């Protein structure tokens, strides 16, 4: 199951889904109903599981678009069953077991009994059971091991009750690398599909190649004097006479304001610091004594020459995670898909 939530981690939901489908991926996972509908409307025919919660009025839409539903309580399962019977359809359901995340899901001690009851409900086909790890990326995986044991206990109790389901899935990106004994019927990688490990301590260790890079170009270039302030609130002042470049993007595009005076960009194969507060639409770069003209490429994420800036680097400087950096690029930023086997998708 390829995870495509949050616009395929910022990469573009429909183009990425089509690419994965071309490559033979046979199951997809999204977070919300609307994402599943968008995939169906784009012609994706493979099973799609909506991993998030739902409210009763949404059930009909799940059934209309043939989307697999996550059931996390007896009440939810009853709502699904009633709506499926009302319109004469069968709902495909996966049970979410809460082994420690405490978001959604039926608690471990109730999970097997719930599954056995749900499997008997008319209009409901129980096809899957799953859980999610709190921390599987390590280095400490003790909690993940405990969750794995709890989940296996639920499966064992279900089996003793005469119930087995075709799709059992728990292995996310981190678990695929760090945990053994998860060879169930399906895995559901997310961030690794896009070329990033699940934690900063693994960056450069896992053999992954990032699929996304973020490029812009200089739109203004000028000299400034020592002591002159830059941007809103003058949070940075030039330490000496030098050159300043302006880039045409800011937090309105997904370049977080918290990176102000923290991040680097690549121009001409060299690192330069971003200076001054990042604004909604513009960011300034201190070139010191170097000169770079209007139209020159600037790389925010990616490689240029021998230098590389990755999403985990920006994430650490922004006190967040690479997931947020990748998912944060707004629709205002064009996505261009290149490389072998790509159709001319644009968005």
Question: Exposure of 116 by Cβ count < 10 A (0-12 exposed, 13-18 middle, 19+ buried)?
Answer: middle
What's the CA gap between 257 and 276, in Å, rounded? Answer: 10
Token output for 76: 């939810």
What's the CA gap between 96 and 94, in Å, rounded? Answer: 6
Q: Please confirm, yes or no, whether 65 is among the known catalytic residues.
A: no
* Full DSSP string of 269-287: TEEEEEES---SS-EEEEE
Report yes or no: 24 and 50 within 8 Å, Cβ to Cβ: no
Exactly one of 5, 19, 96, 148 is catalytic; which is it? 5
What's the CA gap between 285 and 271, in Å, rounded? Answer: 10
Exactly one of 57, 232, 291, 343 is catalytic; which is it? 232
Query: What is the signed CA dihedral for 316, 131, 31, 213, rounded to 10 degrees?
Result: 30
Q: Please confirm, yes or no, whether 255 is among the known catalytic residues.
A: no
Residue in the structure block whose two tokens are 């995670």: 321
User: Which among 158, 153, 151 has a CA at the least distance from the CA of 172?
Assistant: 151
Token output for 104: 């959604």
What's the CA gap between 274 and 283, in Å, rounded? Answer: 7
What's the CA gap between 231 and 33, in Å, rounded? Answer: 41
What's the CA gap between 171 and 177, in Å, rounded? Answer: 9
Tell me which residues are annotated as active site.
Answer: 5, 232
């Amino acid at each position: 199951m390829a995870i495509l939530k949050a616009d395929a981690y910022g990469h573009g939901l429909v183009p990425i889904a089509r690419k994965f489908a071309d490559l033979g991926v046979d199951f997809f996972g999204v977070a919300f109903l609307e994402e599943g509908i968008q995939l169906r409307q784009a012609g994706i025919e493979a099973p799609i599981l909506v991993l998030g919660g739902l409210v009763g009025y949404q059930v009909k839409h799940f059934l209309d678009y043939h989307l697999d539903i996550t059931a996390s309580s007896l009440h939810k399962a009853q709502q699904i069953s009633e709506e499926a019977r009302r319109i004469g359809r069968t709902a495909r359901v996966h049970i979410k077991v809460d082994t420690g995340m405490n978001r959604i899901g039926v608690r471990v001690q109730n999970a097997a009994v719930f599954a056995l009851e749900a499997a008997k409900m008319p209009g409901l086909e129980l096809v899957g059971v799953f859980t999610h790890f709190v921390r599987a990326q390590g280095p400490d995986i003790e909690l993940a091991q405990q969750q794995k044991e709890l989940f296996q206990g639920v499966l064992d109790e279900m089996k003793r009750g005469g119930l087995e389901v075709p799709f059992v899935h728990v292995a996310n990106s981190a678990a695929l690398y760090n945990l053994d004994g998860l060879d169930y019927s399906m895995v559901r990688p997310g961030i690794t599909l896009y070329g990033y490990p699940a934690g900063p301590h693994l960056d450069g260790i896992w053999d992954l190649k990032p699929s996304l890079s973020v490029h812009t170009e200089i739109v203004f270039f000028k000299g400034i004097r020592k002591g002159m302030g830059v941007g809103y609130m003058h949070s940075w002042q030039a330490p000496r006479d030098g050159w300043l470049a302006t880039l045409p993007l800011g937090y309105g595009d997904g370049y977080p304001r918290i990176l102000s005076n923290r991040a680097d960009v690549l121009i001409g194969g060299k690192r330069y610091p971003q200076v001054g507060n990042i604004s909604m639409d513009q960011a300034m770069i201190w070139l010191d004594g170097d000169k770079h003209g209007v139209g020159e490429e600037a790389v925010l994420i990616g490689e240029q020459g021998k230098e590389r800036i990755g999403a985990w680097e920006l994430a650490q400087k922004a006190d967040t995670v690479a997931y947020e950096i990748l998912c944060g690029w707004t629709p205002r930023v064009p996505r261009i898909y290149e490389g072998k086997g790509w159709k001319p998708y644009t968005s």
